[in-house]
Chains A and B, each alone.
Chain A
Amino acid sequence: MQYKLAEAQSQIMKENEEVSSPIALQSFNSSYIRRNNRREKRLAAELGESLLDSSDVSSDVTSFALDSNIGLKKMPLYTTVANSDKYSKLFKNQFYFSERFLVILLSVVLLTWATLIFIIHMVLLFSADIINPTCQKRCNEQEGIAVRVYVCITIILIIPFGYLLMKMRKINDAFSIRKEMTIMLFFSIFVVAIPMIVLIAVPNQFWPQQPTIGYFLGIELLGSFFISIILPLSSTWTRNMDMSKFNIFRKRNPIPTTKTEQPIIPLYETFEFFLTDVNAREVFKQFLVREFHVESLMFCMEVEHYKGLDIDDDHSLKEVSKNLFDTYIQIGSAFEVNIPGALRDEISKNLAKPNMRTFDKAKEEVIRNMQKGSFVRFKKSSLYENFINKRFGK
């Protein structure tokens, strides 16, 4: 049993051999992925272990899902958070447009749109009064009714909103939906509903103009756009991004070169590149499979994924970290990584109260070992050479 995994690994490897060089990289990758998927499912069935099923060796980080029964599969990458040490920034952001660019674009479009609607509404109302003063009274009456109806609707809507929130309070808030709803509730109570009631209740002569429904609609519109779209995006933005370097497009070269007159290392020679870039990582992973070392890379990706989950619910967090521990750290586990015993003990102690940093030390250790050992050899291999030739035509 102990050796079965290794056998499985070598079998995967053998299959991969068949599809080596001449095909274009992209198609090569996809066929590689397909093969591996099929392969691993069969192996999983053979071994009777569900964990192989969840550790797809070849596709993107997203598919390094953890436990399917707590519904955490296929999490979006952009929530990768926290503790931005040297490597945690490397795994996210595979898009050409950066997140901050999208956020800015969305904010600008929505703000313009909302303001335009608001202004048009106001202008129409005022001009209607000015152009046709005789109609003013009737208009006001209609408006007054509409406002009252609107208040009723708002109040009625607030009740199920609160109820839903009560129900949701135990749910894992990975997408920040609960937070969003809470803000929305407070917003509609304190910014829209109460001022509206006050304004209607206060005698007319105090206000030069009875507030119109358009006014509240505008506020509500702006508010809801702000809360439901810009707020969640910007909160991930501020967590992920270094605000000081305002650069609309993603930095193509994430590697800080060393400060002295050492020759500047080309991007494709750096270890970071082979962790960050999807295709490059795929090639490196193939090499690691040949060296019987792939568990290290898988572990790093899973830790990144784990940190990206952004779980604030203790129960789920425990379950996820236990799963990670049982797959990679536990003695005799299927993909046991090579870490010092003392560190393993420390992690297993921390499992009782896990947090986002629980596996950081182990990840650092594993990454250092990959860099010192396999990566040095990888760069002398034909796999590396072929990849560089194809990718950079060098």
Chain B
Amino acid sequence: MGNIVVSPHDKEGQHHMMATPTSNNPNGGSAATAKNKSEITVLLLGAGESGKSTLFKQVQFFHGVGITHDQERIELIEIVRLNVLENAKNLVAATQHLNIPIEQPENRETAKLIINSLNTNDLEDPSWSKRLYSLWKDAGIQKAYENREKFQLYDSTEYLFENLDRICSDKYVPTVVDVIRTRTKTIGITDMKFDVGDGKQLRLVDVGGQRNERRKWIHFFNTVDAVVFLTSLSEFDLNLYEDNGYWRVKESLRVFNEVVNNALFYKVPFVLLFNKRDLFEKKIATKSFSKYFSGFNEAEEKNPVACIEYMTKLFLNEITEHPLDTVSVKTLSAIDHDNSKQVFEEVKQFIMTQQHRE
């Protein structure tokens, strides 16, 4: 494994920041946290695919919880390959759905295999790397990919297909970036704890974002010390995973409204993170931003700063109850290790100072 996989006793291991992923009973835990003020509970909230778990994974990595043993690595291989297959399946299904023919006959053959019988073990064969790559480069698939706002596709599709020759070899070892880029839909609620100095522990809680998952959030609402709300900048042309006819931005705004104006959070520091900045900048270069927002000045639509400002205003307008001085707004690119580390440090500082003020 070596250089690419972070081990718990890496450079940062010397700080003895052993973060332990725990899955605690929230109610039992709540009784404990009420007494024990040294624990700060931070909730990561947001609609589906806003990057909560990506940030969670990043934090896990730079607090020293990496891939520790072989068995876990094998599982990660499986998960990355499963992601490749899911992506391929989604793309092939989309070509059928959008009536785009796959052009090369051998690619059509591959597509048929993908839909019917391929499983992750087959991907160990390097010949599959070529076949999948040629399928990915097929004009039909590329056309479907360009129209990806019409169906559900992960953000990591391109990355995974470009790295096929590595993933499909029998010596494959997942890198940190691979793990960060794989999409695993979080279901339920998980958390982890790590030390943040001053004898304090930070408990980061990651939740699922789809509609059915949101009803589970309430268990943590009365024990929370800070809320980090994530929303994806690049979702302005997409519809919901769980409801194909519903615009994601509208959903994000709605969820944000519900959360930020919740009476339980009135005194709680609140961070609004605009995630996927990198993807957003790429996207507005090719797609019209103002088409989706009628109030936006069309002349400025290629300027990411103006667009983000507009989005910020849109979100801040939703705040009716929460005092604005305890709200912090930041942009983030969670797949970028350095950026997310920096932003998370800032968030941590913000939360700590707010705690202090109390």
Contact = CB atoms under 8 A, between A and B. Distances in A.
Interface in B64-86: 70-72, 74-75, 78-79, 82
Given A292-B188, A338-B212, A13 B244 contact: no
Contact of B216 (A6, A374, A376): A6
Contacts of A340: 152, 241-242
Contact-residue bracket for chain A: 35 or more
Given A260-B124, A338-B187, A342-B152, A10 B26 contact: yes
B121 interface: yes
B295 interface: no
Contacts of B74: 262-263, 265
Contacts of B121: 258-259
Contacts of A260: 124, 170
A381 to B, nearest CB: 6
B333 to A, nearest CB: 23
Given A10-B27, A288-B188, A380 B212 contact: no
A78 to B, nearest CB: 28
Contacts of B208: 338
B327 interface: no
Contacts of B28: 14, 17
Most A C-beta atoms less than 10 A away, residue of B24, B212, B218:
B212
B187 A293 contact: yes
Interface string B203-246: 00000101111011011000000000000000000001111100
Nearest to A335: B212
Interface string A330-344: 010000111111101
Interface string A279-294: 0000000011011110
Contact-residue bracket for chain B: 35 or more
B330 interface: no
B188 A372 contact: no
Contacts of A345: 244
A263 B305 CA distance: 50
Interface string B30-47: 000000000000000000
Contacts, number: 102
Nearest to B213: A338
Given A6-B215, A340-B152, A372 B184 contact: yes
Contact of B189 (A292, A339, A371): A292
B190 A3 contact: no
Contacts of B26: 10
A291 B75 CA distance: 20
B349 interface: no
Contact of B23 (A3, A263, A290): A290
Interface in A245-299: 258-260, 262-263, 265, 269, 287-288, 290-293, 296
B21 interface: yes
B97 to A, nearest CB: 9
B215 A3 contact: yes
A292 B71 CA distance: 25
Contacts of B241: 340-341
A377 interface: yes
B185 A6 contact: no
Nearest to A372: B184
B210 to A, nearest CB: 5
A368 interface: yes
B210 A292 contact: no
B242 A374 contact: no
B25 interface: yes
B218 A291 contact: no
A173 B25 CA distance: 45
Contacts of B78: 371
Nearest to B219: A10
Most A C-beta atoms less than 10 A away, residue of B75, B186, B188, B215:
B188
A13 B25 CA distance: 7
A376 B23 CA distance: 12
Interface of B: 21, 23-28, 70-72, 74-75, 78-79, 82, 121, 124, 151-152, 170, 184-190, 208, 210-213, 215-216, 218-219, 240-244
15 contacts: A2-B215, A13-B25, A258-B124, A259-B121, A290-B23, A290-B24, A291-B23, A293-B187, A331-B211, A331-B243, A338-B185, A344-B242, A372-B82, A377-B21, A377-B190
Interface of A: 2-3, 5-7, 10, 13-14, 17, 258-260, 262-263, 265, 269, 287-288, 290-293, 296, 331, 336-342, 344-345, 368-374, 376-377, 379-381
